[in-house]
Structure 1
Amino acid sequence: MTSNDTPAKSSPLKKRSIAGSFFFKLPSGDEKQAQVALFRRSGKVNTYQHKLAPISGSVEKDDASPFATALREINEETGLTLSSIELLRVGKPYSFVDQSIGREWTINPFAFRLKDKSEGGKGEEGITVDWEHDGFGWFNPLDVNESDEFGGVPKLVNSLRRVWPEYDLGPKAGKAFTSGLQQLRNDHENGARQLAEMAVLTLKNLIAEMDSHAIDDTWWANMRMAAWHICKARESMGSAITSAVVKSLDRVEAIFTQDLSPSEKVRQMIESIEDQLNQREMTTERIRNTFVDYLRQNVTHNAEPKNRLAVLTLSSSSTISACLLQAAADLGIQLDLRILESRPLYEGVTLASKLLEVGSESTDFTVTIYTDASSALAAESVDIVVLGADRISSTGDVSNKIGSLPLVLSQKHVAPKAKVIILSETEKVASPGSIAEHEVEENDSAELVRTWRGGVKGANIIEDALNDAEGTSTSCKKVHVRNVYFEWIPARFIHAYITEEGLWSVEDIVKRSNWVGNEMDRFFKEL
């Protein structure tokens, strides 16, 4: 109390938003051998001197995002760039107050995998600590703790477990979780639908392997945290994955709240998720039927009935191939299929081979493959452009394989009467937000470079320049090869959304988007 008995006013808390980055080494992808780097803060920093911590720094007003802050701080404090690290996990942000120093911290945790030299990285030898640290060491993540003897910064374990849920899952469940996430991250062949199924299977395997002796609130929180990371494993496919996962969580929650033995809860949870997976098998058939009905009513039986249908598409999709073959059989028309090759993985070529392989005598079609740059030529006189979707924004914009937008723009110019049709599961509708908020997936430039080898003059010069990715301060010869997989098609260019629930409008998409957003808040907001 003061001399006049008036309570002393405490100083207002200073609020700081921080990006904290953990480096991991994952030998053979085995979580049992995982190691995390912790850095010893020096005596020159303002807070938590000589404590162990991840690489961290304040989010500045000029930083585009906390992730941009993380990359800047990593470069400043270790000398590493993106060529030596790979984003592994994005943790759920959280806040806490440290009254001892008058701060309220908001922590944005990230996990990066340290690339070794065989992958083009610099490895551990490339880490050069600056004045903010006295050094660093490698630890088993499960050994990190909050004790004074360990000597970590406040809430170190909370930050770590948000990028490494294995900390709480136990060895068997941790292995299932790590394996499932790696499979999702590394699969660049399957589409969003298949990845969503993989995500649900990962959740199912996780439930089967978690400790079922006490299915309590802690169990449920650990489950939701793991599900958060499953949803974030592939941002470009995140809409389909998230929708499928929150549907699974709906089912799991309904059983979790019942008065049953732990073993019975686990049994029913697994059975319910298996039922969800079985129901997904009927999705393609429903989309196929809606597609055929749409063509019958809007394309082939209009004022000028057609006995031949010119269709332009790209990329590989089992849904598209099934729909096209069904249309040819049910409508009794000849299909003139035009397919862009879809570099660098040539999914369009794969689609053409699928159609030729499964087509029967009852289907009459021809297939013409075009280079991606020939989209205007391929679009001449087409009746419909058929595309899939990896994401659908809350306003009806569609994210699909790169090359989709030039294809549609070419069609608008050379065949303006053609219709653009999207074939998609409803689970690909994203939560509310603009397309600018969606992650852009950059992929390994080596995928592109490999396609040039052996036949493209000068390809070796480009490759040599890329191998010197770090460059030098005096060199003016720099090269960048961008390998982006997806781009957005504005809703105004789209005539129809064909789904397993019928023909959808933008209004239907808005409703589903709001549902996804509400479910995400319900399961993840309070983590």
Structure 2
Amino acid sequence: MSSSDATKSKDGLKKRSVAGSFLFKFPHGDERKAQAALFKRSGKVSTYQHKFAPISGSVEKYDVTPLATALREINEETGLTPSSIELFRVGKPYSFVDESIGREWTINPFGFRLKEKSEGGRGEEGITIDWEHEGFEWFNPLDVNGSDEFGGVPKLVNSLRRVWPEYDLGQRAAEVLTSGLQQLRDDHESGARQLGDLAISTLRNLIVEMDSDVIDDDWWANIRMAAWHICQARESMGAAIISATVKALDRIENIITQDVPPQEKIRMIVDALENQLIQHKSTTDRIRDAFVDYLRQHVIQSMGSKEIISILTLSSSSTISACLLQAADRLGVSIDLRILESRPLYEGVTLASKLLVVETNSIDLNVTLYTDASSALAADGIDIVVLGADRISTLGDVSNKIGSLPAILCQRHVAPNAKVVVLSETEKIARPDLIKDHLVEENSSAELVRTWKGIVKGADLIEKISSGGEHDGVRGKKVRVRNLYFEWIPAIFVHAYVTDEGLLSVENITERSNWIGKETDRFFKQL
């Protein structure tokens, strides 16, 4: 742990910002059986000798972010590279003073999962400690404590509970949160609205399982900390999850201030969150009605004698499928629907299959599937591009399924008069941030490579090398297979945002974004 970034405050304390990383392993992939590694600091370090600690290091001036510090320190102190670990928890930073050594620490806690060899990692055998440590041990996170007998560094438990909030919830509530966070992180099939529902359900279920005989400031802080981690579980879907969670916290806050017994408060909270879930289910109906109105006013009126609307879309979205079916049913025109297949998971093909199983004589819907590479052919002569949204920035830029931007760029060339319409719940509007501040979600390269097997010679070898493995005769060769799920469409390409609150302007979106930002800060900033 270097001291090059240390500064002195007015009271003479040296101020130090550090990244503290907890390394976890999950037997048989079950996070409820988590074990956390704590490293015993050696006699050669300058502070807290022979004390258990996470992997720690100063945030240096050349570190882009505290996360960059964490990855660097893990590599220096354990020999593990990014291919052997996975970030799975980001804790809320905090500060404290240790007057015994004249330091003011700012801790940026992280939780990393140790990958097994079967995943391309090196497993526990890959950990090689350096001079800063004299050993490490695995602990049940709930067994870690701040006693002198345990022998941890100052505020060890406080750092741990910020990446493992289960520490303060009790066993049953902890299991609910652990399971919910794992589902949010691993579910790559559900849309953002469904994940928002899962966020609300997880919060409701852990409140039911908590010890709520006394609902005080500590109880409320534990709920907000759990909610913080729910909001961090899937960055790419974070807008919908954060909006849903913040609304839930607002409902809870209004109830816990009432003068009624604790168990009555819990019943009222559960009812309020159930009501929020019910209201969630009706958002698609409202978007569907707004979409039909938009088509009537902005597309059909300009069609003249044309009786066919040509629409281009991609990916699988329950909102899009519902809107398309209602448009075909209500507008009395034929719909020529062109769908890009959406590799590697072929969500476009899934969307087509959903639409084709609907049997009704009132719907005149003709579906054509195109490869992703033929976006220009698919866009030729269309009237409208219909896209979903996983996130909408404060300036109206839209994050959606990879392939959306090429489709729109092709449309602008071959069908420049076509409209680009985004169908979205207002909950997908994100708090104020620049596009560069939003995490790009990258997923397993195996999803791509497995589609090549039996077709591309050497696909098995590419998968092995790209996941960090080696193969006789090709050591030193580097292959990187990138599997990105989402990309940004600039607001200048979007003609209309059709939402559960009707048509929104960019100004409306900015206003909602600012509200989300203020509410998020109100609930989480002081944790």
**What TM-score do the two structures reach when normalised by structure 1?**
0.96
Residues 33-56 of structure 1, C-alpha deviations (whole Å, 9 max, x = no match): 321100011111121111110001
Q: State the distance in 2 between where 1:172 and 1:305 align.
A: 64
Q: Which runs of 5+ in 1 are unaligned?
A: 1-8
SS in 1 for 2:322: helix
Q: State the distance in 1 between where 2:137 and 2:345 align.
A: 40
Counterpart for residue 116 of structure 1: 116
Q: State the distance in 2 between where 1:278 and 1:371 align.
A: 37
Judged with a 3 Å threshold, the aligned counterparts in structure 2 of structure 1 residues 518 and 442 are, in CA distance, closer, same or farther, namely same
Q: How many residues align?
A: 519
Q: State the distance in 2 between where 1:510 and 1:246 align.
A: 17
Judged with a 3 Å threshold, the aligned counterparts in structure 2 of structure 1 residues 242 and 487 are, in CA distance, closer, same or farther, namely same
Counterpart for residue 49 of structure 1: 49
The question of 1:395 aligning with 2:398 is answered: no
The question of 1:63 aligning with 2:57 is answered: no
Q: Alpha-carbon deviation of 1:81?
A: 1.4
Q: Alpha-carbon deviation of 1:121?
A: 1.7
SS in 1 for 2:240: helix
Counterpart for residue 497 of structure 1: 497
Q: Alpha-carbon deviation of 1:11?
A: 6.4
Judged with a 3 Å threshold, the aligned counterparts in structure 2 of structure 1 residues 134 and 64 are, in CA distance, closer, same or farther, namely same
Q: State the distance in 2 between where 1:428 and 1:133 align.
A: 45
Q: What code does the residue aligned with 2:263 have?
A: S
Residues 443-478 of structure 1, C-alpha deviations (whole Å, 9 max, x = no match): 011011111111223323323433553799x94411
The question of 1:244 aligning with 2:250 is answered: no
Q: Alpha-carbon deviation of 1:504?
A: 0.3
Q: State the distance in 1 between where 2:265 and 2:50 align.
A: 47
Counterpart for residue 38 of structure 1: 38
Counterpart for residue 77 of structure 1: 77
Counterpart for residue 458 of structure 2: 458
Counterpart for residue 176 of structure 1: 176
Counterpart for residue 483 of structure 2: 483
Q: Alpha-carbon deviation of 1:519?
A: 0.6
CA contact (8 A) 2:461 2:471 kept: no
SS in 2 for 1:369: strand
Q: State the distance in 2 between where 1:303 and 1:348 align.
A: 27
Q: State the distance in 1 between where 2:275 and 2:97 align.
A: 44
Range 80-89 or range 219-228, more displaced: 80-89
CA contact (8 A) 1:255 1:265 kept: yes
Q: What code does the residue aligned with 1:382 have?
A: I
> How do 1:400-439 residues align onto structure 2 when only pairs under 5 Å count?
400-439=400-439
Q: Which runs of 5+ in 2 are unaligned?
A: 1-8
Q: Alpha-carbon deviation of 1:149?
A: 1.3
Residues 161-201 of structure 1, C-alpha deviations (whole Å, 9 max, x = no match): 00001100000000000011111111001111111101110
Q: Alpha-carbon deviation of 1:10?
A: 8.3
CA contact (8 A) 2:38 2:136 kept: yes
State the superposition RMSD in angstroms: 1.7
Counterpart for residue 195 of structure 1: 195
CA contact (8 A) 2:83 2:468 kept: no
Counterpart for residue 143 of structure 1: 143
Q: State the distance in 1 between where 2:45 and 2:215 align.
A: 43
Aligned residues with identical type, % of pairs = 72
SS in 2 for 1:413: helix
Q: State the distance in 2 between where 1:350 and 1:10 align.
A: 62
Counterpart for residue 5 of structure 1: none
CA contact (8 A) 2:21 2:54 kept: yes
Q: State the distance in 1 between where 2:171 and 2:102 align.
A: 38
Judged with a 3 Å threshold, the aligned counterparts in structure 2 of structure 1 residues 334 and 170 are, in CA distance, closer, same or farther, namely same
Judged with a 3 Å threshold, the aligned counterparts in structure 2 of structure 1 residues 108 and 471 are, in CA distance, closer, same or farther, namely farther
> How do 1:251-330 residues align onto structure 2 when only pairs under 5 Å count?
251-302=251-302, 304-330=304-330
SS in 2 for 1:260: coil
Q: State the distance in 2 between where 1:80 and 1:407 align.
A: 40
CA contact (8 A) 2:195 2:241 kept: yes
SS in 2 for 1:39: strand
Counterpart for residue 102 of structure 1: 102
Judged with a 3 Å threshold, the aligned counterparts in structure 2 of structure 1 residues 521 and 305 are, in CA distance, closer, same or farther, namely farther
CA contact (8 A) 1:466 1:479 kept: yes
Judged with a 3 Å threshold, the aligned counterparts in structure 2 of structure 1 residues 471 and 110 are, in CA distance, closer, same or farther, namely farther
> How do 1:348-359 residues align onto structure 2 when only pairs under 5 Å count?
348-359=348-359
CA contact (8 A) 2:19 2:66 kept: yes
Q: State the distance in 2 between where 1:121 and 1:242 align.
A: 32
Counterpart for residue 6 of structure 1: none
Residues 258-283 of structure 1, C-alpha deviations (whole Å, 9 max, x = no match): 11111101101000100010111111
Q: State the distance in 2 between where 1:283 and 1:256 align.
A: 28
Residues 114-173 of structure 1, C-alpha deviations (whole Å, 9 max, x = no match): 122222221111100011111100111111111111111111110000000110000000
Q: State the distance in 2 between where 1:421 and 1:468 align.
A: 41
Q: State the distance in 2 between where 1:30 and 1:451 align.
A: 28
SS in 1 for 2:336: strand
Counterpart for residue 5 of structure 2: none
Q: Alpha-carbon deviation of 1:206?
A: 0.8
CA contact (8 A) 1:55 1:73 kept: yes
Counterpart for residue 14 of structure 1: 14
SS in 2 for 1:83: helix
Counterpart for residue 469 of structure 1: 469
Judged with a 3 Å threshold, the aligned counterparts in structure 2 of structure 1 residues 303 and 406 are, in CA distance, closer, same or farther, namely closer
CA contact (8 A) 2:37 2:54 kept: yes
Q: State the distance in 2 between where 1:233 and 1:40 align.
A: 30
CA contact (8 A) 1:471 1:478 kept: no
SS in 2 for 1:16: strand
Counterpart for residue 441 of structure 2: 441
**What TM-score do the two structures reach when normalised by structure 2?**
0.96
Judged with a 3 Å threshold, the aligned counterparts in structure 2 of structure 1 residues 302 and 468 are, in CA distance, closer, same or farther, namely closer
Q: State the distance in 2 between where 1:31 and 1:317 align.
A: 30
Range 233-242 or range 22-31, more displaced: 22-31
The question of 1:209 aligning with 2:209 is answered: yes
Judged with a 3 Å threshold, the aligned counterparts in structure 2 of structure 1 residues 393 and 468 are, in CA distance, closer, same or farther, namely closer
Q: State the distance in 2 between where 1:120 and 1:307 align.
A: 55
SS in 1 for 2:184: helix
CA contact (8 A) 1:311 1:382 kept: yes
SS in 2 for 1:389: coil
CA contact (8 A) 1:497 1:504 kept: yes
